Structure 1
Amino acid sequence: MEMNLVIVGLVFVVLGYLVGVKKFTWLLAGYNEKRVKDKNKLALLVGGTFALLGIGIAISGFAGIQQAETIMFVAIGIILLELVYVNVKMVE
């Protein structure tokens, strides 16, 4: 078991819950409520992505996958793609 991946995965799941369910969008870096078209859609999209990434990272940690750098590289790539999507489609 890769404990560092499990911990990072759990942090992502908690952040996904706080942003997606509790709507704590203030946790998002650079968030400006005045520029976002739909706060609920943004919270669900970002929170859901973080939760899914967290579950995937935690499962890979429990499975004992040794490529932590590769897993985190893929997760960061997904987050960056989502950042571009949000800035193009959801921000005025």
Structure 2
Amino acid sequence: FYLSLQAAAAGLGWAMASQLMAADEIADGRLAAPFGFVADGSAYHLLSPAPFEHDTRRLVLLAWLREEAQATLAAPPPSPPDA
């Protein structure tokens, strides 16, 4: 996804990406989402070889990741263009 977003920002075409992956580029005006975003049921998962419940460091990381994702998703999506 990162390379396709870079190519689109450089004017080499279009890219399809999740709202989470493109949020920074859209926020600073390097990319636009003219048709907004569509919920497709995809998800991100954090995997660990050890359980989280007894490791404060892992719990802090998990909480931070959730907050960052929620903050990005809470931002209003761009409006589609008038047809």
TM-score normalized by structure 2?
Answer: 0.34
Structure index of larger Rg: 2
Specify which structure has the bigger relative contact order, considering alpha-carbon pairs within 8 angstroms and separated by 6 or more residues. Answer: 1
Bigger share in helix:
1
TM-score normalized by structure 1?
Answer: 0.32
